[in-house]
Amino acid sequence: GPAELLPPTPDLTLTAPAAATIPVRRLRAATSGSASLDLILQTDTDFQLPGEVHVVPTQVKGPLPPHVVGLILPRSHAGRKGFFVIPGVVDADYSGVLKVQVWTNLPQQLSKGSSVAQLILLPSLVPGAEHRERGDGGFGKSGIKELHSIFILKFYKKKKSLSISHPTMGNIRI
């Protein structure tokens, strides 16, 4: 059913060595109310010019659960520190290390072990997609266009539940 499209609540183990990668399926959220997973960076990155963009590897690798799309978005504090995350999409069958595109307007360093981005997992519908191996090619390497449905998410704090609404799939309450 539609509820099976959602993965179990994820969780992040911060004790992993900096160069290690953790499968997405082993992640856990920081708190029971977290909407996303923090992406911890694997390397130090030096920004020397304003507007310079770097693709920085994280400690997390794919694939995602089936029928799930990952959205890479900035963490709320990243902009205050002068780092700007370029939003990205992670397909369910991407099996490589998740990478974050970051730029800054000042020369500065982004430290290994820090987190300026987060991963949000959402159900995904791809009409008529053929099955083929994706692998670890990233940033536009699949060669096909995908359609990700728009879901309306509502979190009810008092009831501690999440409601997901979709125009054709109906409502799911978790």
| CATH code for the domain in which residue 61 is found | 2.70.40.10
pTM over 0.85: no
Determine, yes or no, domain membership for 71. yes
Residue 24's nearest CA partner among 70, 56, 55, 67 is 70
Determine, yes or no, domain membership for 165. no
**How many domains does the chain contain in total?**
1
Say if residues 33 and 69 touch (Cβ distance below 8 Å). Answer: no
Helices and strands (DSSP H and E) totals, the chain: 0, 13
| pLDDT tens per residue, range 90-106 | 999 999 999 999 999 99
Residue 63 token pair: 């694939």
| pLDDT tens per residue, range 44-89 | 999 999 889 999 999 999 999 888 999 999 999 998 999 999 999 9
Determine, yes or no, domain membership for 129. yes
Determine, yes or no, domain membership for 161. no
Eight-state DSSP code of residue 9: P
Q: Round to whole Å and give the CA distance between 124 and 147.
A: 8
pLDDT at position 34 is: 86
Determine, yes or no, domain membership for 171. no
pLDDT at position 15 is: 34
Burial class (CB in 10 A: 0-12, 13-18, 19+), 160: exposed
- Top-confidence residue, 2 or 102: 102
Which structural domain, as residue segments, surrounds residue 123? 2-140
Determine, yes or no, domain membership for 91. yes
Q: Cα–Cα distances in Å, from 84 out to 36, 60, 78, 112? A: 18, 20, 6, 16
Determine, yes or no, domain membership for 169. no
Determine, yes or no, domain membership for 72. yes
Q: Round to whole Å and give the CA distance between 72 and 136.
A: 17
| pLDDT tens per residue, range 108-132 | 999 999 999 999 999 987 776 566 6
